[in-house]
């Protein structure tokens, strides 16, 4: 035989040498059968209606993908063709994958958004409201960007609000790690009441750090409310969906905090104004009632009424002595009558008469005891009335009695005293001596009504 005979290995090596002539090729198709090895390599098939091509993507390239390879994804791949000796099949060693119909970053965005939404991280019920009166605000952003200047300019409207800046990079490789660490630190530190994560506008690539999963999970795990203000109004990031409140711009994020504080201040001022009107009205009504009470007849007659009560109290003070004297007199008369009866001669004291006398004595004694009880009840009532009408009790209620120092007669008219006279004012506890410097004829009110 003149034909060349090849070993399997030689033929595969020759074919692979020939395939190098193709160089790198671009192939369009649909991903199917994705498998991830323990080493991190990805294995899948690329197919269309006319065929299937086995593909392998080493971990060093696969880890750079911003999106997840999954079945059914239409892609454009770049790689080199070779025959795998262990299986003798043609395969494409992939070094780059681009989604078809949607950009790589947008696809990664949509995939992460769907994943976190499925875990409930975007659910409205887990969103927390802003505190009523935030005193300290944490700010996560670049220390040199326009966003920090815009935020601080708005926050200066409320000088009592303290701001703690945690400077981070907001774009580029590694920026997502700094942002996540800042959110975790400020959230757990107890130093701030609300957290702002902000960045100015830019392209999707510029804003990508706020679309990383580690940033989203740090915001979701924050124990304090987080306001996200990334990019412009048309820009949306994963951080916006996870945050408790999404602001269209960094400036609006600061406005949300200041507006809440200003709203609380307006409510306090309105409440103070309402309270002032209320108490002003009550004071005016009390003043009018007091003016009316100054000329009331009952108050004008109070000094005369006090004098009458004083005289009545003096009479009542003497009543107990009179009642005790009357009772003692009745007892003495009863004892004298009983003694005379027992000393009658026997001839006048027949047994029948003695029994009659004894019975009458018993009746008389019972009448005396009844009279004594009745008088005691009356005496107790009079003592209570005396205590109620006593000037001492009147003094205990805040009144006082003023007389000249050597004349116990109470003064009733300020016009009767002369400058230089010494007065003695009797209070509930103690007495006050004073000297007259002048007097006015008008009489002021003794009472002040409560409202």
Same domain (yes/no): 156, 56: no
Q: What is the pLDDT of residues 130-156, one digit of tens each?
A: 888 888 999 999 988 888 998 999 888
Which segments of 185-290 are extended strands (E)? Answer: 194-199, 226-230, 245-246
Residues 58-71 have a mean pLDDT of: 85
Among 426, 442, 424, CA closest to 434: 424
- Looking at residue 221, its pLDDT comes to 92
Same domain (yes/no): 93, 120: no
Q: Which domain holds residue 408?
A: 401-435
| pLDDT higher than threshold 80 for residue 423 | yes
Same domain (yes/no): 46, 174: no
Q: CATH number of the domain at 140, please.
A: 3.40.50.261
- Looking at residue 451, its pLDDT comes to 38
Q: Please state the domain count of the chain.
A: 4
Is residue 34, in this structure, part of any structural domain at all?
yes
Q: What is the pLDDT of residues 159-215, one digit of tens each?
A: 888 899 999 999 888 999 999 999 999 999 999 999 999 998 877 778 889 999 999
Q: What distances in angstroms separate CA 344 from CA 310, 347, 356, 357, 362, one per listed residue?
A: 53, 8, 14, 11, 18
Question: Domain ends where: 51, 70, 101?
Answer: 101
Among 168-177, 272-281, 309-318, 331-340, which is the least confidently predicted range? 331-340
Beta bridge partners, 401, equal 426
End-to-end CA distance of the chain: 130
Cβ within 8 Å of residue 282, ≥6 positions away: 451
Among 261, 225, 259, 260, CA closest to 245: 225
- Looking at residue 226, its pLDDT comes to 94
Is residue 295, in this structure, part of any structural domain at all?
no
Q: What distances in angstroms separate CA 169 from CA 77, 218, 243, one per listed residue?
A: 33, 16, 19
- Looking at residue 241, its pLDDT comes to 93
Same domain (yes/no): 315, 405: no
Same domain (yes/no): 345, 418: no
Is residue 145, in this structure, part of any structural domain at all?
yes
Question: Domain ends where: 82, 101, 120?
Answer: 101
| pLDDT higher than threshold 60 for residue 350 | no
Is residue 286, in this structure, part of any structural domain at all?
no
Same domain (yes/no): 349, 414: no
Which residue do the tokens 């494409």 mark? Answer: 92
- Looking at residue 344, its pLDDT comes to 55
Is residue 289, in this structure, part of any structural domain at all?
no
| pLDDT higher than threshold 90 for residue 98 | no
Q: What is the pLDDT of residues 319-345, one digit of tens each?
A: 778 878 887 887 788 777 767 666 655
- Looking at residue 218, its pLDDT comes to 94
H or E, element range at 57: strand 51-57
| pLDDT higher than threshold 60 for residue 442 | no
- Looking at residue 443, its pLDDT comes to 44
Average pLDDT across the chain, whole number: 82
169 and 180 Cβ atoms separated by less than 8 Å? no
Same domain (yes/no): 146, 231: yes
- Comparing 86 with 294, which gets the higher pLDDT? 86
Same domain (yes/no): 244, 362: no
Q: What is the pLDDT of residues 220-253, one digit of tens each?
A: 999 999 999 998 877 789 999 999 999 989 998 9
Q: What is the pTM of this model?
A: 0.46
Same domain (yes/no): 145, 257: yes
């Amino acid at each position: 035989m003149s034909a060349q005979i090849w070993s399997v290995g030689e033929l595969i090596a020759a074919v692979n040498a020939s395939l190098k002539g193709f160089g790198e090729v671009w192939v369009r198709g649909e991903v199917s059968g994705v498998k991830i090895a323990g080493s991190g390599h990805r294995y899948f098939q690329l197919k269309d209606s006319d065929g299937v091509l086995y593909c392998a993507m080493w971990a060093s390239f696969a880890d750079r993908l911003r999106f997840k390879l999954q079945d059914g994804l239409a892609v454009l791949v770049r790689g080199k063709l070779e025959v795998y000796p262990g299986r003798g099949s043609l395969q494409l060693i992939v070094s780059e994958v681009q989604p078809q119909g949607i950009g790589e970053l947008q696809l990664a965005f949509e995939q992460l958004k769907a994943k976190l939404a499925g875990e409930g991280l975007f659910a409205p019920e887990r969103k927390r409201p802003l505190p009523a009166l935030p005193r300290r605000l944490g700010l996560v952003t670049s220390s040199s960007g326009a966003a920090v200047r815009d935020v601080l300019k708005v926050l200066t409207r409320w000088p009592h609000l303290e701001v703690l800046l945690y400077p981070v990079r907001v774009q580029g490789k590694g920026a997502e790690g700094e942002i996540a660490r800042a959110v975790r630190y400020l959230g757990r530190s107890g130093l701030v009441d609300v957290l702002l994560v902000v960045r100015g506008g830019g392209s999707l690539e510029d804003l990508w750090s706020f679309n990383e999963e580690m940033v989203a999970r740090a915001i979701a795990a924050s124990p304090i409310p987080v306001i996200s203000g990334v990019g412009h109004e048309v820009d949306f990031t994963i951080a916006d969906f996870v945050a408790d409140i999404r602001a269209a711009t960094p400036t609006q994020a600061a406005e949300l905090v200041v507006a809440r504080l200003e709203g609380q201040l307006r409510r306090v001022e309105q409440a103070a104004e309402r309270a002032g009107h209320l108490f002003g009205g009550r004071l005016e009504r009390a003043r009018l009632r007091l003016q009316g009470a100054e000329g009331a007849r009952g108050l004008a007659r109070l000094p005369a009424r006090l004098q009458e009560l004083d005289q009545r109290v003096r009479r009542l003070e003497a009543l107990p002595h009179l009642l005790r004297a009357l009772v003692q007199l009745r007892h003495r008369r009863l004892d004298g009558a009983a003694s005379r009866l027992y000393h009658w001669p026997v001839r006048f004291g027949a047994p029948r008469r003695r029994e009659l006398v004894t019975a009458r004595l018993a009746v008389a004694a019972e009448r005396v005891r009844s009279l004594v009880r009745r008088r005691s009840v009356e005496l107790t009532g009079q003592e209570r009335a005396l205590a109620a009408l006593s000037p001492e009790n009147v003094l205990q209620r805040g009144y006082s009695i003023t007389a000249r120092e050597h004349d116990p007669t109470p003064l009733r008219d300020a016009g009767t005293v002369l400058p230089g006279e010494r007065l003695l004012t009797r209070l509930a506890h103690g007495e006050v001596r004073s000297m007259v410097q002048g007097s006015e004829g008008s009489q002021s009110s003794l009472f002040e009504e409560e409202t």
